[in-house]
Amino acid sequence: MRSLTVNYCKLLTPLRPSAVSCRCLSGNEPKMPPCDFVPDKYESLPYDHVVEVRKKNLSAALSTYYRKPLLLHQGHMQWLFDHEGRRYLDFFGGIVTVSVGHCHPKVTEAAKKQLGRLWHTTNIYLHSPLHEYAEKLTSRLPGKLKVLYLTNSGSEANDLALYMARIHTGNYDVISLRSGYHGSSPYTLGVTAFSAYKPGVANSFGCHTTMCPDVFRGIWGGSHCRDSPVQTTRSCSCSAGSCEAKDRYIDQLKEILNTSAAMRIAAFIAEPIMGVGGTVQYPKGFLKDAYEVVREKGGLCIADEVQTGFGRTGSHYWGFQTHDVMPDIVTMAKGIGNGFPMAAVVTTEEIATSFARALHFNTFGGNPVACAVGSAVLDVIEEEGLQDNCNTIGTYLMLELSKLRDKFEVVGDVRGKGLMIGVELVTDKESRKPLPAQELNVIWENCKDMGVLLGKGGLYNNIFRIKPPMCIRKEDADYAVAVLEAALNKYMDAKAR
């Protein structure tokens, strides 16, 4: 197993005395960990021209981050470089997509090699990259989950999973969790429970949502509910072996099934840990009980592993395994290709046979380059012990972040598992009222100015989403925590004036 301390900068670029520094520090800002990698000189479109093209030629629906959007030029492992050579620690991983590191040398080499051999052919022909990858990926899934369909995005994968469930069961209704996100295609928009993504036109009917089992912000929850190194500060009076919060959220699911949904349903879809919804973790045992209730109504259980898969949760390779459940269909994307546009649906032979009643075709699903990239990603995760790294560094990072929760009134909750972490900001701990987005943005912008890129999420957009490349080191975690602490101090000082 290759050590995580391998210096990838030296693998790709000779050490130069002029290695790019992060930025000019004021003296009070945390010092960015060193990196020997030197980015190429930016020689493309000027910044102002890029902004003008964005306004004129790209849809206004494509929003950007930050008051002055970053013009990114190059990436290397956990680092990103802008057009002026400034370095940033990517703590959002390209929206939880860069799994093994930006431009990882082994993955890059696999793509180059396949590009020189065969760019594209479809499923009407045999080609070894597809079949090698199918065997390799399905070997990492338990039970009867052995039949693979390759697609191009997480929305497309979830869309296909819903389609499969409806064909196999002969039922139509689907249940999802409020605040859950599963894509914005016409089919998946029905199970995405965020009004911000719904423009008000008809989308997939027959979709129903049940209460989000959020033990921090929800009606029920206590200090022993989560499978996480950090629990909520809410009190808990449950007796040993029982969880009142779990039981009550299951009652809510039963009520939806008995009142809003059809007598027989097609599926229940849920992420093992919510991503866009703000890294929400359910009470222990909730997903297991939910699967049982859903199956009693004839439904299949779909695990949306688009963000939680491939070792990111640390203790297990797949997020659903942390809940001790066996889904009927698993969807995956994002980290599957380390940023390369690919996704997958894995199911059982029985469900796959039902789906074969009619032709199904995807021009780019199973593309040779995508399969070569995906295969290299699987190898790197194993060879470099990245699942273990998620467990070790993720646990350490959460415990350090919990110290900020204890220090700052505005840090209401820290939660997650592995390198799937959320930090929820509130006006005060007693009310748990979400910190207004404009105030959170002040902290967020300051983190960026000091060199750390964070994501945002949650129904009220008041949660920092921390999902970095799985190759980060302890010194990166320490730096990110120090930056967040400095930004929080600056915010609190300004507020006190």
Domain with residue 396: its CATH number is 3.90.1150.10
User: pTM for the whole thing?
Assistant: 0.93
CA–CA dist 181, 63 (Å, integer): 17
**Residue 161 and residue 70 share a domain:** no
CATH number of 145's domain: 3.40.640.10
**Residue 327 and residue 205 share a domain:** yes
Tens-place pLDDT, residues 111-134: 999 999 999 998 899 999 999 999
Residue 469 pLDDT level (bands cut at 50, 70, 90)? very high
**Residue 212 and residue 117 share a domain:** yes
Percent of the chain at pLDDT exceeding 90: 87
Say yes or no to pLDDT of 13 above 70: no
**Boundary (domain end) residue, out of 333, 350, 383:** 383
Tens-place pLDDT, residues 151-176: 999 999 999 999 999 999 999 999 99
Tens-place pLDDT, residues 397-415: 999 999 999 999 999 999 9
Domain count along the chain: 2
Q: Give Cβ neighbours of residue 234 (< 8 Å, ≥ 6 apart).
A: 215, 216, 221, 222, 223
**Residue 55 and residue 127 share a domain:** no
The structure tokens listed for 319 are 């997020």
Residue 2 lies in a domain: no
Say yes or no to pLDDT of 416 above 90: yes
**Residue 174 and residue 301 share a domain:** yes
Distances (CA, A) of 312 to 163, 177, 258, 392, 492: 27, 22, 36, 11, 33
Range of the domain at 463: 8-100+385-496
**Residue 334 and residue 193 share a domain:** yes
Tens-place pLDDT, residues 318-352: 999 999 999 999 999 999 999 999 999 999 999 99
pLDDT at res. 6 = 39
Tens-place pLDDT, residues 80-123: 999 999 999 999 999 999 999 999 999 999 999 999 999 999 88
Locus of tokens 């979830």: 158
pLDDT at res. 4 = 41
